[in-house]
Structure 1
Amino acid sequence: MARKKPATTHGIAVVDKPTGVTSHDVVGMLRRRFNERQVGHGGTLDPSATGVLVVAVGKATKLLRFVEKTKKAYLGEIVLGTETNTLDADGEITATHDMTGVTLEDAQLIVAEHFVGAIEQIPPMVSAIKIDGKRLHELAREGIEVDRPPRPVTIYSFQLMPTDEPHVFLAAVECSSGTYIRTLAADLGTLLGGGAHLRNLRRTAVGRFTIGEAQAPDHCELLPVEEAVRTLDRIDITRDLADLVANGRVLPAFEGDGPWALFDPDGLLVAVYEAFGGEAKPAVVVPQN
């Protein structure tokens, strides 16, 4: 079997994902654009959603998990009175409710009581989570619904604002990785005595990657590999220590909880270390050119 060609292009792209394409489609676009097979993304967006999708190329793909775990920010519209089978505007209507008596203040009170801090969510059937080896959205296409265990997530901020349409609220959410905004919308509708669905979802930030720097797949800039760890604590180390780190040396724990991004005197990322007991162990050692 022929060996895979080593990656020669490396970096991070902050993409403004357009509507109507999957996150995997965007990965394919960048594979073709950079002529590189080793490409991946840090956190799926639904086809109808837009906004920040962080894509790694070459050796930066080893660092994607540190992008995926970061806080996310979203804007979306919650439409009261209509439920769909996908919990968003792409699905078929399954129920309607008269919610004309519900006010923005009512919704804000429910959000403050039930949807801020540590909560649990039941993943939607249209998600990519696997149950017994099969993705939920694949089961949903077959008309199969299965029990899904609730998952813990954290909602750091959940603000509701009025729009020009009655009973349509603009939602601004900051949350942990793994949060389903469509589930927030549907659960809010239920607690308000009816139902709701989500539309026009846009991710505005993934950690410190923001919509202000995001660009279309055909025009996005390829940033240095080091940008993948911009949210981590930075540790500058000596040349001698960098040589040891490059060989996976276990070190005493640094200040803070980690992970820590270790940089050599030239400003190049050498490794990411994580806490293990009272020590710091290499999670990823970045190969140098």
Structure 2
Amino acid sequence: MDGILPLWKEKGFTSHDCVSKARGMLRTKKIGHTGTLDPDVEGVLPLCIGKATKIVPFLTDTEKVYEAEVTVGRSTETEDASGAIIEKEVVNKCPSILEIKDILQRFKGEVTQIPPMYSAVKVKGKRLYQYARDGEEVERPVRRVHIKEIGLNEDSVTFTNEELLFKLNVTCSKGTYIRTLCVDIGKALGFPAHMSSLIRLETGGIDREKCFTFEQVQELVDKGSAMDAILPISVGLTHLNDFPINNDERFVFEHGQVLPKPPNVTNDPFVVKCKGEVIAIYQQHPSKPDKIKPIRVF
């Protein structure tokens, strides 16, 4: 079984839980996930199976689309709803829709983020959440991420005379901390804030409509139709350029040979396909500008 299981992860599961559960259902060990989702987060979690595990880094590196709920008036130690409250301030006046939209647009484009202490980022070989659990504060690396789109769900704006809640849709690069984005938006509004819920709606062109829950996967397994839930490897590589070849050229690409660089090939990785089948992923040779070399061979 080679391909991508477009899983709709439900709340309560870690990404590792999902891999373990899928291994049992599909009776195969070679499965990898394409980006960690916290247990409180639901949404699109593609699982790569068999040969598709070779594209995990490429699918992980794609744009993501999220729906996040921001609660303004309280901040937490984890920057989400699971953490203890560390600051609280009454929101005594509701900003207008226009004011909120104006604030959101300040975060469009390249932004600087400091990862939360409760995150898996490593500092000196130790994950930040391990420092946090030990009560240690360490200097965190600054990272730059890209927010392609950010928009307010106007119907979601709720004001309770103490707190302000609203939902936003975000299209962003790999590595973006939506929790931190919500906190920073709160600061721009002048109040403590945290991310009260998060749904991942899309990753690498795989959206909610393509996804299956574990219950639906089990139903297909029981019918002997598990492959009906599996997407081809090519679906996880739609963000890369295609390089079609014919059968006569297939052998050299299948065997990962270093080859002369074809005309019109850029420095970006590209997908070599024969009659629609993914054969390999190639890139320009790092030390030989007139050559191309394989990154992955299938």
What is the TM-score when the length of structure 2 is the normalising length? 0.88
Aligned residue in 2 for 1:101: 93
Name whichever structure is richer in helix by fraction.
2
Paired with 1:218 and 1:142, the residues of 2 have a C-alpha distance of 38
Match of 2:22 among 14, 27, 30: 30
Contact 2:30 2:53 in 1 (8 A): yes
Paired with 2:215 and 2:232, the residues of 1 have a C-alpha distance of 18
Aligned residue in 1 for 2:223: none
Which amino acid in the other structure matches residue 272 of structure 2?
Answer: L
Aligned residue in 1 for 2:251: 243
Partner secondary structure for residue 197 of structure 1: strand
Q: Deviations over 1:175-230 (max 9, x none)?
A: 00000101000011112211111122000000211011111134341222333323
Paired with 1:151 and 1:225, the residues of 2 have a C-alpha distance of 31
Which amino acid in the other structure matches residue 275 of structure 1?
Answer: Q
Contact 1:107 1:188 in 2 (8 A): no
Q: How does 1:198-277 map to 2 (within 5 A)?
A: 198-220=195-217, 221-251=229-259, 252-253=261-262, 254-265=264-275, 267-276=276-285, 277=289
Contact 1:129 1:135 in 2 (8 A): yes
Which amino acid in the other structure matches residue 97 of structure 1?
Answer: E
Displacement of 1:138 after TM fit?
A: 2.1
Is residue 172 of structure 2 the alignment partner of residue 175 of structure 1? yes
Paired with 2:252 and 2:36, the residues of 1 have a C-alpha distance of 36
Contact 1:102 1:192 in 2 (8 A): no
Which amino acid in the other structure matches residue 202 of structure 2?
Answer: A
Change (3 A) 1:142 1:173: same
Matched pairs, number: 276
Contact 1:126 1:137 in 2 (8 A): yes
Partner secondary structure for residue 165 of structure 1: strand
Is residue 188 of structure 2 the alignment partner of residue 191 of structure 1? yes
Displacement of 1:106 after TM fit?
A: 2.4
What is the TM-score when the length of structure 1 is the normalising length? 0.90
Q: Which runs of 5+ in 1 are unaligned?
A: 1-8
Partner secondary structure for residue 109 of structure 1: helix
Paired with 1:238 and 1:33, the residues of 2 have a C-alpha distance of 37
Is residue 37 of structure 2 the alignment partner of residue 45 of structure 1? yes
Match of 2:117 among 120, 125, 149: 125
Paired with 2:284 and 2:93, the residues of 1 have a C-alpha distance of 52
Is residue 11 of structure 2 the alignment partner of residue 19 of structure 1? yes
Paired with 1:236 and 1:223, the residues of 2 have a C-alpha distance of 20
Q: Which runs of 5+ in 2 are unaligned?
A: 218-228
Aligned residue in 2 for 1:158: 150
Displacement of 1:263 after TM fit?
A: 1.1
Paired with 1:171 and 1:275, the residues of 2 have a C-alpha distance of 39
Partner secondary structure for residue 210 of structure 2: coil
Aligned residue in 1 for 2:103: 110
Change (3 A) 1:189 1:164: closer
Paired with 2:14 and 2:290, the residues of 1 have a C-alpha distance of 42
Contact 1:10 1:60 in 2 (8 A): yes
Paired with 1:42 and 1:195, the residues of 2 have a C-alpha distance of 32
Aligned residue in 2 for 1:135: 127
Identity of aligned residues (%): 36
Is residue 280 of structure 2 the alignment partner of residue 283 of structure 1? no
Which amino acid in the other structure matches residue 269 of structure 2?
Answer: P
Contact 1:69 1:177 in 2 (8 A): yes
